[in-house]
């Protein structure tokens, strides 16, 4: 079966990859747009891009209930293990690849910040390039535009997930340039419409993607699923 991606609102995603349930940046119980609660999701791996509350809020409770392995930059993996009793963690760093049972996860550069909710140092923020049996997904996660996105896309990206909310990340204008650099086959927006400061018109964004880039835009509502 093809990999299924469900948008859980904001920067949160749930992936069904073969027999594996993989979460990215679960921010569910306090998110105004999440269609699910942390108590109701399954996971055997949880990928964490950086330390901000809107990316780590529900990681520990889900990991401790499900036994999922938390995959994050070294400092954040260590923080979950030492401060939140998460038993299984994989600490990595930018440019490294973790070979996981569902595929390869490379931690990519992101230009952002990454303090953890209690003020702890969260290391550098990152994104994830997932090389799966049925394709490649690039989650830019929270970042500004940067020209090295061209290198990330060089190997061929089937689906890119880019932030478009502006204020805390790149906005729609810079996302168009990001799409040109990454050159994915398809692209979906994230990290917008969670709160008023990051409201965006996703349909207007999609129209621009169609006319200004070679990628096919996919606009999801929280809770909707696409196939890779």
CA atoms within 13 A on the CB side of 128: 26
On whether the CB atoms of residues 151 and 121 are closer than 8 A, the answer is no
Q: How far is the CB of 161 from Ni ion (least distance, A)?
A: 15
Radius of gyration for the chain, computed over Cα atoms and rounded to the nearest angstrom: 16
On whether the CB atoms of residues 72 and 63 are closer than 8 A, the answer is no
On whether the CB atoms of residues 131 and 159 are closer than 8 A, the answer is no
What letter would DSSP give residue 126? E
166 part of the interface to Ni ion, by CB under 5 A: no
Residue 186 binds which entry of Mn ion, Ni ion, none, CB below 5-8 Å type-dependent: none
Q: Which region among 47-55, 72-80, 116-124, 172-180 touches Ni ion (by CB under 5 A)?
A: 47-55
**Per-residue x/- mask for Ni ion, residues 13 to 42, rule CB under 5 A?**
------------------------------
Q: How far is the CB of 24 from Ni ion (least distance, A)?
A: 13
- Nearest Cα to Cα of residue 95 among 83, 104, 86, 85: 104
Spacing of C-alpha 78 from chain mean position: 20
Q: Which region among 22-30, 46-54, 71-79, 159-167 touches Ni ion (by CB under 5 A)?
A: 46-54
Instruction: Give the nearer residue to Ni ion in terms of CB position, either 132 or 162.
Output: 162
| Distance, CA of 33 to CA of 220 (rounded, Å) | 12
Q: Which region among 140-148, 150-158, 180-188, 198-206 touches Ni ion (by CB under 5 A)?
A: 140-148
Q: Is 211 helix (H, G, I), strand (E, B) or coil?
A: helix
Q: Which region among 77-85, 141-149, 158-166, 192-200 touches Ni ion (by CB under 5 A)?
A: 141-149
Instruction: Give the nearer residue to Mn ion in terms of CB position, either 51 or 217.
Output: 51
Instruction: Give the nearer residue to Ni ion in terms of CB position, either 103 or 165.
Output: 165
Q: Which of 25, 58, 142, 174 binds Ni ion (CB under 5 A)?
A: 142
CA torsion 166-47-14-158 (nearest 10°) is: 70
Bridge partners of 129, per DSSP, are 106, 138
52 part of the interface to Ni ion, by CB under 5 A: yes
Q: How far is the CB of 60 from Mn ion (least distance, A)?
A: 18
Instruction: Give the nearer residue to Ni ion in terms of CB position, either 58 or 142.
Output: 142
| Distance, CA of 68 to CA of 117 (rounded, Å) | 21
Q: Is 97 helix (H, G, I), strand (E, B) or coil?
A: strand
6 part of the interface to Ni ion, by CB under 5 A: no
Interface positions with Ni ion (CB under 5 A): 52, 142
């Amino acid at each position: 079966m093809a990999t299924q991606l469900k948008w859980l609102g904001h920067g949160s995603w749930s992936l069904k990859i073969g027999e594996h349930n993989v979460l990215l940046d679960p921010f569910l119980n306090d998110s105004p747009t999440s269609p699910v609660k942390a108590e109701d999701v399954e996971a055997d791996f949880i990928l964490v891009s950086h330390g901000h509350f809107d990316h780590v809020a529900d990681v520990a409770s889900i990991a401790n209930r499900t036994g999922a392995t938390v995959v994050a930059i070294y400092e954040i993996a260590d923080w979950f293990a030492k401060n939140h009793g998460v038993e299984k963690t994989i600490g990595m760093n930018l440019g490294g690849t973790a070979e996981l049972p569902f595929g390869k996860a490379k931690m990519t550069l992101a230009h952002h910040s990454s303090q953890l909710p209690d003020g702890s140092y969260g290391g550098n923020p990152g994104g994830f390039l997932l090389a799966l049996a049925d394709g490649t997904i690039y989650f830019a996660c929270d970042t500004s535009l940067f020209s090295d996105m061209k290198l990330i896309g060089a190997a061929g990206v089937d689906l890119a997930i880019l932030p478009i909310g502006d204020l805390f990340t790149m906005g729609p204008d810079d996302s168009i340039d990001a799409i040109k650099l990454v050159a994915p086959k398809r692209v979906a927006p994230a990290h917008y419409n969670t709160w008023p400061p990051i409201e965006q018109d996703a349909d207007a964004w999609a129209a621009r993607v169609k006319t200004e880039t070679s990628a096919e835009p996919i606009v999801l509502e929280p809770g909707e699923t696409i196939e890779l």
